Amino acid sequence: MSDSALYELFALGTPVMDGFAAVDADFPARHKLSLGSSNFMNKDQLAVLEKALGPNVRSWEPGDNARNVCESYARLQQLNRLPPATAYAGTLGSDEWGKRFLHALQAHRIQPRVQYMNGDSGRILALVTPEGQRTFAVALGVSEQYAMPAELPGCKTFFLTSITLLTPAPISRVSRAMIEPMRKKGARIAIALESPAMLAGRREDALMLAKLADVLFLNEEEMQAVGLDEPGLAKLAPLVYLKRGARGSTIFKNGSKLADVPAKPASKVVDTTGAGDNYAAGVLWALNHGRDEKEAAAVGSQLGRAAVEKFGASLPLEFRLEK
């Protein structure tokens, strides 16, 4: 990296602690949750769900899509005996949850560039049905209150998600304002479209933000939510990765289809949480390390496949990148 690029990957998100729970297929509907989407609520509403789940809630782990990308990117650095090159920004509360989140960043060799506020750190319950579908109950606390930092770091890639960019909270305004200054500092702008329900409700805004990306990630459900077909999607950003789950991914470059990249099937599907984040981490790591677009998709698919074979968004301890 040049002196101006402190990091290979710098991501901004809404830091949360995630609790995972296996639930029956009807649990989300019984509690008026939108299946397969992020359901936003306050901490009291989240407490009601926690009580209903009882001992089914597994241990709490650090979450957030952008942080997940950082963790798997940092894991690839470590597996390849490369120095730490990842940083994460967000806002934590002055509570034990915030301390646990910070400790996890440091444990994964992710440089914290966090801000602190009085209040509750964010938490999310990931409810996983028997077929592996996940539904999120989200209480973001102070995590959306990010303020413009005094100095922006240099990096190869600046990563954001539509959840961060589309929320009505302060982090949306700040994250949008950071994009062009980061680009002028030499960063590639990578944006992942997330949460079909949010995208469908903010379609025009989501499309406008997607056009700010140099690299865009989304899946087929998210493509439908923003009202695009493949030809329209191809023109949305210079490089687009359309995730198709077990069928691999399709790459669009400079307005036209570049390739379909197949994926090896997972040996089992336990939990799809984090599959898209891991795919993005693999793609961005490969692009930052000189791989071409198709090679990057193949790396992303390896990470995404490994992630669905266990609970949670982290890669299995035994994961190794195939040659």
* Amino acid making up residue 301: S
The residue behind tokens 């990630």 is 217
- Give the CB-side neighbour count of residue 99, counting CA atoms within 13 A: 3
162 and 280 in contact (C-beta within 8 Å)?
Answer: no
The residue behind tokens 């570049």 is 258
311 and 58 in contact (C-beta within 8 Å)?
Answer: yes
Q: Is the Cα dihedral 82, 85, 90, 92 positive or negative?
A: positive
Which pLDDT score, from 0 to 100, does residue 105 have? 97
The DSSP code for 193 is -
Which pLDDT score, from 0 to 100, does residue 265 have? 77
Give the CA angle between residues 104, 138, 121 to the nearest 5°.
45
User: In terms of Cα–Cα distance, which of 253, 280, 249 is closest to 264?
Assistant: 249
Separation between Cα atoms, residue 252 and residue 229, nearest integer Å: 12
Dihedral-angle region of residue 191 (phi above 0 means left; psi in -120 to 50 means alpha; beta otherwise): beta
**For the chain, which domains are there?**
7-17+63-121+141-307 (3.40.1190.20)
Three-state SS at 60: coil
Separation between Cα atoms, residue 121 and residue 83, nearest integer Å: 30
Which pLDDT score, from 0 to 100, does residue 4 have? 57
* Amino acid making up residue 249: S
Model confidence pLDDT, tens digit, residues 192-251 = 999 898 899 999 999 999 999 999 999 999 999 999 999 999 999 999 999 998 899 999
Model confidence pLDDT, tens digit, residues 42-64 = 989 999 999 999 998 977 889 89
Q: Within 10 A of 88 (CB to CB), how many other CB atoms are there? A: 28
Strand 239-243 relative to strand 249-253: parallel, antiparallel, unpaired? antiparallel
Question: In sequence order, what are the beta bridge partners of 120?
Answer: none
The CA distances from residue 206 to 165, 292, 294, in Å, are 8, 27, 26
Give the CA angle between residues 293, 295, 296 to the nearest 5°.
60
- In this prediction the pTM is 0.88
Which ranges of the chain have pLDDT less than 70? Answer: 1-5, 271, 309, 312, 316
Which pLDDT score, from 0 to 100, does residue 103 have? 96
Which pLDDT score, from 0 to 100, does residue 234 have? 96
Separation between Cα atoms, residue 228 and residue 167, nearest integer Å: 22
